[in-house]
Amino acid sequence: MGEKIPRRNTSDVVSVPKREILMTQETTKYDNLIDKVENYEFGSQPKKPVSKDSFYPHTLKVHTEGIKRTEEFCRTIGRNLSSDKLNFIYRGSEGDDCVFVEKRQGHLTKKWKKKVSHKNRVESDLWINTVEFQNDGWEKYATFEVTFEKEEYLLEFIRKIKVRVSPNTSSIYFPQKKDRVYKYHWVSKFEDHTPRYPFYIVSKGRGDSRLTSKFFERIKVPYYIVIEPQDYDEYTCVIDEEKILVLPFSNHGDGPGRARNWCWDHSMENGFKRHWVFDDNIRDFRKLHRQRRHPIGDGGMFRVIEDFVDRFKNLPVSGLQYKHFTVENEAYSPFVLNTRIYSALLIENTCPHRWRGRYNEDTILSLDVLKDGLCTAQFNCLLQDKLATQVLGGGNTGEFYGSEGTYNKSKMLEVEHPDVAKVVWRYNRWHHTVDYRPFKANKPIHVDGYDPKPHNKNTELYPFKLEKI
């Protein structure tokens, strides 16, 4: 453990009353990468790049499930359609009582309901001898490609179907899928289900909301919340002091990466092989299984992921997928190799790369690792329900996103990894796009002594049960 020393006042440390600071030392100087961004200007960003007219014609895919939903879609938009006419231009309603004509053989029976298996992915083969995971999907009954020549047609279409659509939306389901209200949660049936690696929540100015810590309190998982000195009073009013770690710096303006590096140092100082680090605006975590996203009731799934990642020698960064990126009736493997990891991460302390960059530090770290030939793993078996960027006050929202927008954030990623990243206008703001295809060849390697041969593919080494909340 780090040495506890009396609090002190320096130019970099703010006095914290009633509490001694555990003075874990920073082992690396944080690189904010600002000097690498040409013509960087704090608080500025270009205007929206394209005119409204250049967006059209725009094509939107609309998926339906079953003949009844398909017929309802035709009546709703006022178009007569058939299975041999799934592509059409929408210029408004053509009348009431419109119908859908099915001309495909077998589609009026249940034969069309063919499953799409997740088991054809290498990730499913690697998942053996862990926890049971089944998440096959179903073929869509119909997928319409609807083209809009003008904005007025798109707006009319949206008003009729009552589905949220942005200019960047490429596909939707009709009718829009609603979140289920779950009365049960998943709990572990194995005894040692407490995560073995420490949990760190990096937080700033969110003592009132503290979403992530509230969830960990509910499921009784130990954690640290890592704050800057000026927030001490705010957080100690609502969180046990023993769970609070006070950083030896504040308001540096370099984003959360420096605090995450400090958590990394704290974990190493205490002798851990890996550590978890979380954003502070995650509402809950869900176990995906058999097309359902039930909440979890304890830390068992985190332990499953820890033990799985420990099987490999070249998997230094892993984490959890966002809940809103999974849809019912779609097939998902238990995890996806070699993509970006963000918001909820499990990091090996011997990883050769550290957090860097004022913005997009999570994507930068992922690409740094992948370009070394190492692997990342983004887990679907456990999902994070995180608030969208800039929705909740505090954090980076208050420090710089709210005043300067998102252009510099995306530009920094493009400058640092220009071969795979570029700045685009997306989600009605400046954003980035990253090509992860060059890293498909990165293969996970088992640690020496691990026998990957399956004894029984259906074996549950980590059993769970559904329990009423």
Same domain? 210 vs 340: yes
Asked if the structure places residue 133 within a domain, the reply is: no
- Residue range 70-110, pLDDT digits in tens: 999 999 999 999 999 999 999 999 998 999 999 998 888 77
What's the mean pLDDT when you consider all of the chain? 88
Residues 367 and 298 both lie in one domain: yes
Q: Does any domain span residue 426?
A: no
- Spell out a b/e string for 83-92, using b for 16 or more CB atoms within 10 Å of the CB, else e: eeeeeeebee
For the entire predicted model, the pTM comes to: 0.87
Q: What domain range is 145 assigned to?
A: 52-116+139-173
> Do 209 and 239 have their domain in common?
yes
Closest listed residue to residue 255, CA positions, set 40, 388, 409, 387: 409
Query: 162 lies in a domain?
Result: yes
Query: Of 131, 152, 173, which closes a domain?
Result: 173
Residue 22, pLDDT above cutoff 70: no
Instruction: Report the C-alpha dihedral over residues 378, 330, 212, 304, rounded to 10 degrees.
Output: -50
Same domain? For 305 and 449 the reply is yes
Does 45 fall in a domain? no
d(CA 322, CA 389): 12
Residue 458 lies in a domain: yes
Q: Looking at the DSSP assignment, which residues form a beta bridge with residue 131?
A: none
Clarify whether residues 258 and 369 are in a common domain: yes
Give the pLDDT band of residue 165 (cuts 50, 70, 90): confident
* Cα–Cα dist 149/56, whole Å: 6
- Do both 194 and 339 map to the same domain? yes
Q: Answer yes or no: do 221 and 303 share one domain.
A: yes
Q: Are residues 201 and 320 both part of a single domain?
A: yes
Please identify, among 151, 173, 195, the residue that sits at the C-terminal boundary of a domain.
Answer: 173
- Count up the domains in the chain and report the number: 2
Q: Whole-angstrom distance between the N-terminal and C-terminal Cα of the chain?
A: 37
Q: DSSP per residue over 403-450, as a string?
A: HH-SHHHHHHHHHHSTTTEEEEEETTEEEEEE--GGGTT----BPTT-
172 — phi, psi (to 5°)?
-145, 165
Do both 327 and 210 map to the same domain? yes
- Considering only residues 164 and 352, tell me which one the structure prediction assigns the higher pLDDT: 352
Are residues 151 and 244 located together in one domain of the fold?
Answer: no
Q: pLDDT of 166-182, one tens digit each?
A: 766 889 999 988 888 99
Same domain, 208 and 103: no
* Pair (219, 337) in one structural domain: yes
> CATH number of the domain that 270 lies in?
3.90.550
Mean pLDDT (whole number) for 423-437: 83
How many beta carbons lie within 10 A of that of residue 443, not counting itself?
12
The answer on pLDDT for 403 being more than 60 is no
- The predicted structure's pLDDT at residue 19: 45
47 lies in some domain? no
Taking Cα atoms as reference points, which of 10, 13, 11, 6 lies closest to residue 248? 13
In a domain, 282, yes or no: yes
Report the C-alpha gap between 334 and 380 in whole angstroms.
5
Confidence check: pLDDT of 459 > 80:
no
